[in-house]
Chains A and B, each alone.
Chain A
Amino acid sequence: MSDFGTRVGLLKPRWAGANLTGRQSGLRQRLFKARYIYLLLLPGLVYYLFFHYLPMYGILMAFKNFNANLGIWGSHWAGLTHFEYIFSDPSFQRAFRNTLFISMGRILFELPFPILLALLINELREGRSRRILQTLFTFPHFLSWVIIGSIMLNLFGDQGIVNMMLSSLGLGKIRIFSSSDLFRPFLFFSNIWKESGWSSIIYLAAIASIDVEQYESAAIDGITRRQKMWYITLPNILPTVVILFILAVGNAMNAGFDQVFNLYNGAVLDMGDIIDTYIYRITFQGPTDFSFSTAVGLFKSLINFALLIAADFASRRLSGKGLFH
């Protein structure tokens, strides 16, 4: 008789434990339960709403002839006129071309370097010298392109130390900022200089997670340092490389505004003007036509969006995970 209570417990009626406050209580109950989460969520949501989604309303300007006096709502419709003009504008075509070529160049030249750096750094033993080198290599990443651009302009300018060194050796001056040809390669070089230390960290983390057994079993058979890198290390970090490659492709529309803006000038527009600098110039450094600028910006965003979706899809196919989640 003493365990009758427990037996009854096992025979609890189905509605016991369920809330008895009413039929719609399912959703309301969950809302109520999560009320503090909503409270905590509110400030962040307000930020995203006001500064990311509210501006999207301004996209309408791309389809109208914006008149500041009439506001967005009152301005007259222009349909796709601005977009038609975009395609016929040679400056835009140039900017678009440059953007693609620079992005491709970045993938080709800037992607491998951090990998190489990581492989080399990895060969050093943990210790003070390794830490010092890493501090040095990663440092430029934390400085703005305003700073780095100023330093580079001074160093590599026509009157800079590098050119003086070359002159004193009897070689000709290299014109990086005064003529188009070397500007793009310089973009790659200076970005490698600035970022490869920091980028190598990702690869170093990936290398660190390779299990030691692979190296040990190879060492037994005798293996050189180079073979280790080529046959063990590299294949193991290949997934990381692929992900970063996909990310770089998805980011192709952004060819590095910060860097280009702080390094470029009128003389190198031919090879150096990218979509973002083009938009900036037509918006703030010329006769203002907000509608046209918005149209160009929208066009770029749409392509960017498509690329990122494709990249996300590719990444998910390959590794089961999306780019950001």
Chain B
Amino acid sequence: MGRPIRRKRLETSLIIIIIVLAAWGLIILFPFYNALLLSLTPREVYVRNPFLLLPKAISLDSYRALLNNSGILIGFKTTSLILLSGVPLNMFLTASMGFCLSRNSFPGKRLVFFLVIATMFFNGGIIPLYITVKNLGLMDSLFSVILVTAANTFYLILTKNYFESIPPSMEESASIDGANDIVIFTRIYLPLAKPILATILLFYAVDRWNEWYHSMLFLQRLDLVPLQVILRNIVNATSQTVVEVDTGRRLFADGIKMAAVVVTMLPVMVIYPSLQRYFMKGIMLGAVKA
């Protein structure tokens, strides 16, 4: 009669778990908090007391300096260009190839599949890629960055697996009516694949936003620099004090650096919470099916 009084013991262990998880949450939060704090602190306050845990005064000096003096706007423009032209290309290649590889056997299917998978096992290295990009005339062109990462084999496999899990009965009536593969692709499979396509769209968008390596290799011109590279340049600058151009006020480098970090993070930070479950669902979808 009545449940055994095990509830009390469960409560303690649960409390410990909650404390541990909350502590980890704080550990995750703290570095971001520190960066934000530094970016919002005026130089005078920082110089007097560099050890800041709580805001003493808030100022937008660092952000103002950032927007005026550095290439952050170029960064935003370039990265947006890369994203807006790159992601549609990514989606198209991934969806089309994923669909084709999920179809029933056609001559050459095994070969194509092998060629695609093999790229995950072996690649030529940076230099050969560098030479290839150069020979294709893509150096200093945005196309180099857009095309080099035009498809991610892992996402491709996720998509293919998802397509494979769509029951063939879906297309039967269409193929009886004489629809060809392209029509089947666009009218039937694409709409059915919305969950996985939404997920890899987000993955590609984040990847494009975070891209910096290939741009550093292939883009030398000063008017096409992605946001992450601009950030790298700002952070690696070594001078401690910076003079604000129009007012002559002195600013401190760390504040500007952290302002640059915050500004680069902001879009992801804003969008992520609401889209988080699509990311997670996508991974679970892919993991379960793979």
Please name all residues of chain B whose beta carbon is closer than 8 Å to the beta carbon of A93 when the two chains form the complex.
none
Contacts of B124 in A (CB 8 A): 55-56, 58-59, 294, 297-298, 301
B9, B107, B125, B147: the one within 8 Å of A51 (CB): B147
**Chain B residues whose CB sits within 8 angstroms of the CB of A205 once the complex forms:** 283-284, 287-288
Q: Can you list 16 contacts pairing A with B, beta carbon distance less than 8 Å?
A: A36-B182, A48-B151, A52-B123, A56-B128, A142-B272, A143-B268, A144-B228, A147-B264, A151-B31, A154-B257, A155-B34, A193-B31, A294-B124, A294-B125, A308-B120, A308-B121
The size of the chain A interface, using a CB distance under 8 A, is: 87
Chain A residues lying within 8 Å of B113, measured Cβ to Cβ, are 325
Q: Is A88 an interface residue (CB 8 A)?
A: no
Residues 23-50 of B contacting A (Cβ, < 8 Å): 24-25, 27-29, 31-32, 34-35, 38, 50
Please determine whether B122 and A301 come into contact, CB atoms closer than 8 angstroms.
yes
* Total count of chain B residues near the partner, CB < 8 A: 94
Shortest distance between the CB of A109 and any CB in chain B (Å): 16
Query: Is B126's CB within 8 Å of the partner chain A?
Result: yes
**Assuming the A-B contacts A123-B17, A294-B128, are A222 and B4 also in contact, with contact meaning beta carbons closer than 8 angstroms in the complex?**
yes
Are B14 and A58 interface neighbours, CB within 8 A?
A: no
Task: Chain A residues near B112: list those with CB within 8 A.
Answer: 41, 45
| Distance A128 CA – B185 CA, assembled complex (angstroms) | 38
Q: Are B272 and A304 in contact (CB under 8 A)?
A: no
Residues of A within 8 A of B (CB): 27, 30-31, 33-34, 36-41, 43-45, 47-48, 50-59, 61, 72, 117, 120-121, 123-124, 133-140, 142-144, 146-147, 149-155, 159, 161, 164-165, 168, 193, 197, 201-202, 205, 209, 222, 224-226, 258, 262, 279-280, 283-284, 290, 293-294, 297-298, 300-301, 304-305, 308-309, 324-325
Q: How far is the CB of B174 from chain A (nearest CB, A)?
A: 13
A33 vs B287: C-alpha distance in the bound complex, in angstroms? 33
Residues in chain A near residue B283, CB distance under 8 A: 201-202, 205
A161 and B52 contact, Cβ closer than 8 Å, known pairs A58-B131, A197-B28, A294-B128: yes
**Contact, CB under 8 Å: B38 / A154:** yes
Contact between B129 and A47, CB atoms less than 8 A apart: no
Q: How far is the CA of A235 from the CA of B78 in the complex (A)?
A: 49
The answer to whether A30 touches B127, judged by C-beta atoms less than 8 angstroms apart, is no
A205 vs B279: C-alpha distance when bound (angstroms): 13
Q: With A30-B106, A290-B127 in contact, is A146–B93 under 8 Å at CB?
A: no
Cβ A279 vs Cβ B125 within 8 A:
yes
Q: Is the CB of A283 within 8 A of B127?
A: yes
Contact B51 A161 (CB under 8 A): yes
Q: List B residues 52-88 near A (Cβ within 8 Å).
A: 52-53
Contact A297–B100 (Cβ < 8 Å): no
If the complex has contacts A41-B112, A47-B151, A135-B272, are A61 and B127 also in contact, measured as CB distance less than 8 A? Answer: yes
* Given known contacts A168-B51, A205-B284, A325-B157, A37 and B254 CB-to-CB distance under 8 angstroms: no
- Judged by a CB distance under 8 angstroms, whether B169 is at the interface is no
Contact of B28 among A39, A146, A193 (CB under 8 A): A193
Question: A124 near B21 (CB under 8 angstroms)?
Answer: yes
B40 CB, min distance to chain A CBs, angstroms: 14
Which B residue sits closest to A280, measured CB to CB? B126
**Minimal Cβ-Cβ distance residue in B for A291:** B127
A116 to B89, CA, bound (A): 39
A44 engages B132 (CB within 8 Å): no
Does the CB pair A297–B125 fall under 8 Å?
A: yes
**Given A55-B132, A137-B28, A138-B279 in contact, is the A31-B21 Cβ separation under 8 Å?**
no
Known: A48-B116, A297-B124. A152 touches B235 (CB 8 A): no
Interface digits, B1-29 against A, CB 8 Å rule (1 contact, 0 not)? 00010100110011001101110110111
**Chain A binding surface, main DSSP class:** helix
A279, B126: Cβ atoms under 8 Å? yes
B213 neighbours in A (Cβ, 8 Å) = 258
A residues within 8 A CB of B24? 117, 137
**Does B176 sit at the interface, judged by CB under 8 A?**
no
Closest 10 pairs between A and B when the two form their complex, measured CB to CB: A58-B128, A297-B125, A44-B97, A144-B210, A34-B106, A55-B128, A36-B181, A164-B51, A55-B124, A55-B132
Interface string of B106-148 (1 = CB under 8 A from A): 1100001101110111111111110110001000000000011
| Chain A residues, Cβ within 8 Å of B31 | 151-152, 155, 193
Residues in A whose Cβ lies below 8 Å from that of B182: 36, 39-40
Q: How far is the CB of A255 from chain B (nearest CB, A)?
A: 16
Name 19 extra pairs, CB < 8 A, besides A53-B115, A164-B51: A43-B93, A44-B93, A47-B93, A50-B132, A51-B147, A51-B148, A55-B123, A58-B129, A117-B24, A138-B279, A142-B279, A150-B257, A150-B261, A151-B258, A161-B53, A193-B31, A290-B127, A293-B125, A294-B125
Answer yes or no: B188 CB below 8 A from chain A CBs.
no
A154: B residues at CB distance < 8 A: 34-35, 38, 254, 257-258
Q: How far is the CB of A177 from chain B (nearest CB, A)?
A: 13
Name the distance in Å between B134's Cβ and chain A's nearest Cβ: 10
Closest to A202 in B: B287
